[in-house]
A and B are shown apart, each in its own frame.
Chain A
Amino acid sequence: MIQTLAFYLFAFLVVASGVFTIMARNPVHSVLWLILAFFNAAGLMVIVGAEFIAALLVIVYVGAVAVLFLFVVMMLDIDFAELRAGFVKNFPLGIAIALVLLAELVLGIGAYRAGAIKLGVPDGSAAPMMDRSNIESLGAVLYGEYLFLFETAGLILLVAMVGAIVLTHREQPQGARGHQNIAKQNRRRPHEATEMKRPDVGKGVEL
């Protein structure tokens, strides 16, 4: 009973916030609806018993990726009139994409109605492991069966990260304005920065 209720609640909220993501006029509202969609998707994961994936979804997507989205979108200066002018120009392309998606959806539902695909006889290795937590089973799969694919994915991400750093990194020459030598700043002591003067009465200080 409560599972059904929770499922329909989360499912409805995912779909509704997905719709609002593309309907919202303000891009910041769009991102916030998207975040709500992520959050409810995590709720759906919890219902199917994949609490580890739910936690990762919240940590990675809601906690990091969407914050960066929001960060960028908040700083955009958007001209709404220009956006609406582009709408007419891009309308045919949008309709084409919508038609392709609709065709795929119809095909998909048709294939689903046609019954299960028989590609082979199950050998029992894919049977659910009821006695293990899903952290353990995920770990066994990722670091056992798919170890090399997993490590390749890690390597690709590393290359992407290095690429992003190389693209944005600008070497500042020594002594340039804005260049900071942290070690030098930390080494500085009060007697190097300030000087005590004891002027006599009636005489000024020579600076």
Chain B
Amino acid sequence: MTAFFQSLGMTYEWAWFVATLAGVLLIALPLMLAVAMIIYADRKIWAAMALRRGPNVVGPFGLLQSFADGLKVFLQETIIPSAANKGLFLIGPIVTFTVALLAWAVIPFGPEAVLSDINIGLLYVLAISSLGVYGVVVAGWASNSKYPFFSAMRAAAQMISYEVSIGFILICVVLWAGTFNLNDIIEAQHGHGFGLVNGFFFNLLLFPMWVMFLISSLAETARAPFDLTEAESELVAGYQTEYSSMSFALFWLGEYANVLLMCALNAILFFGGWLPPLNVDLIPWFNIPGWIWLFGKIFLFFFIFSWVKATVPRFRYDQLMRLGWKVFLPLSLLFVVLVSGWLMFTRYGVAA
């Protein structure tokens, strides 16, 4: 895009600046729109599974429901509890929201369509997603109220626990692809399964990793059945209890942006990202732009997220910790050993 702005007669520095700014807006604005629509989709799917209608009043088929909700919270009064730690109370939701947007900088929407194509793309995503916990913890502490505080404690422990196994799962993918760059990881999946299927899921060693990654990403984003940070039967609304108006909305936007990010990571790491699902040119698969495939896969995973939310009862907290530390951690470690052993055996030679 820099070259395009240079052709308009700008110097390289200005062209780069304008191109980056345009890229940021091109990702952030549609993301916000996508979050609004995905909240609507979530409610519709959830309603359909509960044999209800879901939102159907505002706009055709209720499509504008999220915008109406957004307008409502925007017009509300921002209430800051008098006992709260005012500065941190306001910083909490801002951190959550900003961090949720930051990670999208390295997500590739096509072979060329990525804002910053860095070598350590996957590590960057891991680093940014490990920052997400601060928004919740700071909000919970600054509210100076017991339910948000409990929720913050739970969130901190839960996110750290599942990040460990997510890290090991990502290591498996990185070992197989031989790179941290997200675009190269997608390229490595081209024709991975017998030259027919594009995606690491078509691999006996990596398929179990994908299942664990899907469950861990549910836990990492605190979605049902792992939504213990906002378990309404125990903690009112968790860390959001004291929040109102836009600060409350920022939490929701951040949360759903994180969910979308996790769906995108599922698609990119195990299902070939912007590649078509099959490597066969029955219909001109490869002429369809990559972002359409990626969006389709993201929506597929979001449907799974919603499906789980509508059907699975909430975990107990000790069960959550047990699953993370006693099941996922040893299993993912075992698979790191298996994958690296297999690669040593087949790719690098035993003597290497």
Chain A residues near B (Cβ < 8 Å)? 26, 28-29, 32, 35, 51-52, 55-56, 58-59, 62-64, 67-68, 70-71, 74-75, 133, 135, 180, 182
Contacts and interface: CB of A to CB of B under 8 A. Distances in A.
Given A32-B138, A74-B141, A51 B133 contact: no
B137 interface: yes
A135 B141 contact: no
Interface in B117-176: 118-120, 123-124, 126-128, 130-131, 133-134, 137-138, 141, 149, 152-153, 156-157, 159-160, 163, 167
B131 A63 contact: yes
A135 B180 contact: yes
B322 interface: yes
A56 B127 CA distance: 8
B318 interface: yes
Contacts of A67: 133-134, 137, 156, 159-160
B88 interface: yes
A32 B88 contact: yes
B318 A180 contact: yes
Given A64-B160, A74-B141, A74-B152, A52 B318 contact: no
Contacts of A32: 88, 138
A62 B102 CA distance: 16
A46 to B, nearest CB: 10
Interface in B65-121: 85, 88, 118-120
Interface string B180-206: 100000000000000000000000000
B147 to A, nearest CB: 15
Contacts of A59: 123, 126-127, 130, 167
A58 B88 contact: no
Contacts of B123: 52, 55-56, 59
Given A63-B163, A68-B160, A52 B134 contact: no
Top 7 closest A-B pairs, CB basis?
Answer: A63-B130, A58-B127, A55-B123, A59-B127, A55-B127, A74-B141, A71-B156
Contacts of A180: 318
Contact of B137 (A29, A58, A70, A182): A70
Interface of B: 85, 88, 118-120, 123-124, 126-128, 130-131, 133-134, 137-138, 141, 149, 152-153, 156-157, 159-160, 163, 167, 180, 318-319, 322
A135 B119 contact: yes
Given A64-B130, A135-B119, 15 more contacts: A26-B85, A28-B88, A28-B141, A32-B88, A52-B120, A63-B126, A63-B133, A64-B160, A67-B156, A70-B137, A71-B137, A71-B153, A74-B152, A135-B120, A180-B318
A70 B142 CA distance: 12
Contacts of B137: 67, 70-71, 74
B120 A63 contact: no
Contacts of A182: 319, 322
B13 to A, nearest CB: 8
A157 to B, nearest CB: 14
Nearest to A182: B322
A58 B130 contact: yes
B127 A63 contact: yes
Given A55-B127, A63-B127, A64-B160, A35 B134 contact: yes
Nearest to A71: B156
Nearest to B322: A182
Contacts of B163: 63-64
28 contacts: A26-B85, A28-B141, A29-B88, A51-B118, A51-B119, A52-B123, A55-B120, A55-B124, A55-B126, A58-B131, A59-B126, A59-B127, A59-B167, A62-B127, A63-B126, A63-B131, A63-B163, A64-B130, A67-B134, A67-B159, A71-B156, A71-B157, A74-B137, A74-B149, A74-B153, A135-B120, A135-B180, A182-B322
A102 B120 CA distance: 39
A154 B327 CA distance: 23
B161 to A, nearest CB: 11
